[in-house]
Structure 1
Amino acid sequence: MQFLIHGVHWLLVPISFVIPWLILFLIGWSLWAAIRDILDRSRQMHRIPCADCRFFTGDYHLKCTVHPASALTEQAIGCPDFESGKRLPLPQETAY
């Protein structure tokens, strides 16, 4: 048995050095991939224009008066009916 251990010792030392570094590399790679995916998803969700739209109600029963089924979803990106929610001020009435 002692002979067998000394016979493969030259192989066990490099393996015991490489495996922990390989595990650390794989953990780091997984974390990087998860963070990258989270950032990509966040960028995609911030492209949804509904919250700034004139037709957005903010009520959970009817989120959008024009396209209620696709409001606040990825289908709303590039909505042809989007209008900026910044409304022009009403004209002042003049008193005579």
Structure 2
Amino acid sequence: MRAASRTRLRALTLFPEGRTPRYDSEAIAREDWDPVEVSMQESEEELTLSTTAATARISLQPLRVGFEDGSGRTFAVDDEELGMGAVETPGADVFSEPLGSA
């Protein structure tokens, strides 16, 4: 699995093996970002990508992602138990009601 990061946008995209990386997004109008220096630290448990403005922490087992701004404030951190946006609603039609009925 490969990962790509748009540092100023604080977005992380994971690409399964064999899938061609695509960086385009309808949600992002700007494409002319200045390059920034990114440092990477890797251990058996975690991959950390850091710039002067933000840090992305990717826990590997189980896979969890979280972010931290330059002041150390965390945001968009995956829940330890639920993971990366997992929502389980037994018997629900997840295509027409992805979060279940109200």
Name the TM tier (shorter chain).
Answer: under 0.3
**What's the TM-score once normalised by structure 1's chain length?**
0.21
* Structure with max Cα Rg: 1
User: RCO (CA 8 Å, sep 6+): is it higher in 1 or 2?
Assistant: 1
When you count helix as a share of all residues, which structure comes out higher? 1
